[in-house]
Structure 1
């Protein structure tokens, strides 16, 4: 099972289909109490109390950190319906989803307790009332990142009152989860600390400037997520008293510092920090003996790891991405013998790696992508016998070291296009020699490359085929079958090949000749999009009786453009490629086709792939949504590996996180298309 999960893990960056989100009503006692202004959170599965493990050992789940990521950035005002899960009712139309409780999500509250109380304790009620009275007059002036205007009036007060009601319900029903999303208040009520049944607390895009000290009283809390709190600079000292906390995520929170006694939180398994203003981590962090995953990312202030980080022997994943001031790594890092993943991508000042990095014998993934100052690699990298992925794209390397040949054959080494020939020469010199000979023959016999020939006649296809055969015989054969299928499709279905297709196909062929990386991608594309059947002799042949190929020349061009956008490091370059295509009348890219094109393999509607690739990898908001989904999926995989949750549950959580990210990316696409004048 875990082997299949490794495959699932490696594909997390792929783009999932858009899934609709459903809300589950919380009308049964003991259910999750939520305030989510986008109504994106599903009820979480619970088990009967009789079957539950003790509180400190009981596995639990948390919603995707991607939830709520993009909606605060939407330019168009949206109507806000301030209601918690308990208030949800049957939707007015099918597009809103089905608000019925799934049989897989039973309530965990005993029936006897469900009717035991109809109101929170009086002191909690008083505290919430006082907090609401103080916060309401200021609600419209508190920035949360959300647009709290429905087109006719500001709904901040409604949002605040709905949040107060959700907290009351959490107290009444002893809820195990609470989501506070888009809260227009500078603080939370102290009553939060008296919700002693809480195991998960999520504070997303709030205006809070401080957290109550009573937070440290939540002795059962296992997961705490704070995201997008742009005014929160410090954490309460009591936070480190949360001894049962397993997961702590502080994403896009500009904290000036972290608690000095962070090491007291001995239950922590996963710690994710993003957007902080601190230059270093507290020294006590090395005392977190059970921590398996540490992520510090997207900080313009973070400079260094603790010198003795090698003491954190439980670490399996260390991600230090996009920290613009990180220049060096401590030597003790190479003592992390259980480390499987080391992500150092987009640290543009990182110029050196520890010379003995090869001591990380268990390392399977090493990403140095976009480390522009890194101009050489230690030779010990060649000793990483378990390495499965080495990403060197966008580094300062001008030549590749010959010791890369020592890495295992299964290791996927990714390099920039200008180093692709060197890599092939190192890893497979005989094949590289054959390719060089074919290229020389092509140049000798072809007076002009296909990509530079004039004219728009379909008769140029034989020349395209011949040139591709000279570079890669197998690719040329696949291309010939594919173009034959296009011709047959045109004859059978009247889908004629137009003169506008030739310049597009010209670009695709030229890119396949130029780029070994795209050559591989294009070969896979041709294989997948050519329909095959077996004849009576059991031999594979192009399909008969239906479409010979799926898609057309425009589909191939979109594949090429997506590939180039995904392999481009510079955002402006990627945007230029995309906008040039959007202005190409031959592609016929109307707004609706961009948002809802048809996947030729699955028949499902999806966003035009190059547009989705740009938003997911280069647009700030879209990339944040995609990164958040990946972070959450990795955390679920770690919990499954530890046996905290089942593999099926972890897979479901990961897929839900990606579905949420897809939803945000679609919203962002609508905003960008409007900004680009595509209506």
Structure 2
């Protein structure tokens, strides 16, 4: 069988090239000859740059790589030519071109530098997105406006590494994400997120990390579909829930010292999660 007819490629021990322009390690350019490839997996590797020839992979649907927040993977502009791409799995460095990637459903994690503007508006079919915001500049404040326009979004994670909590964006744009099912927020924000989040009609899982607020308040009828709530590493001292709030909650991970209604104390921990 000719290699160029390959549909699936999983490389464990692979040769790498050194980019003459950036000095980063990357896959050989020959990868671009596998024009029928649909699935390309590169597990946790030393590769931190993808060859421009990835744009030749017109049938590619899933690209799975490694990377981490400190060493994200650089994608070439030619990635936008892979119009059938549905899933980007790994940790990738912003910016990269997303125009023409109308079929993209998953970006497992994207790292946004403080000097960059993150605007995924063209990704109209995006369902799963994880964003890591590094330290911001006062001239370029990250907002959730473009995220709020992703009407197909179902799973969103925002990890905010900036030490200045005052720069954390208002959550109001997320109210337009009516199909959102799972949400995770990590930041040092001192504002209660519940007034906005409790109105999300289909949210089933909520995770709050490192919040600096003292009290979280949920009104009657708030979080009508929420089943799992996880709060950890936060300064929260009280979880206030009015009668009729969190009606479907069946999994709760919080610190034992947090004050909350007695009815919530009988709710078991989320399976497979340790607080």
Q: Same fold (TM over 0.5)?
A: yes
1:297-316 alignment, distance < 5 Å:
297=132, 300-301=134-135, 304-316=142-154
Q: Is the 8 A contact 2:211 2:233 kept in 1?
A: yes
Residue 130 (structure 2) aligns with: 295
- Equivalent runs, 1:277-676 vs 2, <5 Å: 278-279=113-114, 282-283=118-119, 285-297=120-132, 300-301=134-135, 304-321=142-159, 323-325=160-162, 327-344=168-185, 347-352=186-191, 353=193, 355-368=195-208, 370-380=209-219, 382-403=221-242, 406-408=245-247, 410-419=249-258, 422-424=260-262, 427=263, 566-567=274-275
Given candidates 239, 248, 266, the residue that maps to 2:102 is 266
How far apart are residue 294 of structure 1 and its match? 1.1
Which structure has more relative contact order (CA 8 Å, sep 6+)? It is: 1
**Equivalent residues of 1:204, 1:228 under 8 A apart:** no
Aligned to 1:203: 42
Distance in 2 between the 1:175 and 1:308 partners? Answer: 37
Length-normalised TM-score, structure 1: 0.34
Question: Matched residues in 1 for 2:258 and 2:194: separation?
Answer: 23
1:219-230 to structure 2, matched below 5 A, reads: 219-228=58-67
Give the distance between the partners of 1:355 and 1:415, measured in 2 at CA.
Answer: 19
Structure-2 separation of matches of 1:361 and 1:330: 15
Whether contact under 8 Å (2:50, 2:73) holds in the other structure is no
CA distance in 2, matches of 1:341, 1:277: 21
Matched, 1:213 2:44: no
Structure 1's 206 and 340: CA in aligned 2 closer, same or farther, altered over 3 A? closer
1:249-301 deviation line (CA, Å, top 9, x unaligned): 232x5x3x322x41420011111115x35246632x1221111111235x644
More helix by percentage? 1
Paired position in structure 2 for 1:487: none
- TM-score, normalization by structure 2: 0.77
Match of 2:28 in 1: 189
How many residues matched?
Answer: 254
- Could you tell me which of 10, 13, 36 is aligned with 1:179? 10
Q: Give, in whole Å, the separation in 2 of the partners of 1:248 and 1:277.
A: 16
- The structure with the greater share of residues assigned to strand is 2
Distance 1:247 1:348, change over 3 A: same
Q: RMSD across aligned C-alpha pairs, in angstroms?
A: 3.2
**Segment drifting more, 262-271 vs 325-334:** 325-334
Whether the 8 Å contact between 1:207 and 1:231 is mirrored in structure 2 is no
1:205, CA displacement in angstroms? 3.8
- Report the alpha carbon displacement of residue 349 of structure 1 after superposing the two structures with TM: 1.1
Conservation of the 8 A alpha-carbon contact between 2:253 and 2:274: no
User: The residue matched to 1:377 in structure 2 has which SS?
Assistant: strand
The answer as to whether partners of 1:291 and 1:315 remain within 8 angstroms in 2 is: yes
Report which of the two structures shows the higher radius of gyration computed on alpha carbons.
Answer: 1
Return the alpha-carbon distance in structure 1 between the equivalents of residues 57 and 223 of structure 2. 44
Alignment check: 8 A CA contact 1:307 1:330 kept: no
- Counterpart contact for 2:10–2:40, Cα < 8 Å: yes
In structure 1, list runs of 5 or more residues that go unmatched.
Answer: 1-28, 30-116, 118-169, 433-515, 522-562, 568-679
Distance, in Å, in 2 between the alignment partners of 1:231 and 1:395 is: 27
- 1:243 CA displacement: 0.7
Question: Residues 400 and 211 of structure 1: is their aligned pair in 2 closer, same or farther, counting only changes over 3 Å?
Answer: closer
Q: CA deviation at 1:411?
A: 4.0
Shift of 1:247: 0.3
Q: SS where residue 401 of structure 1 aligns?
A: strand
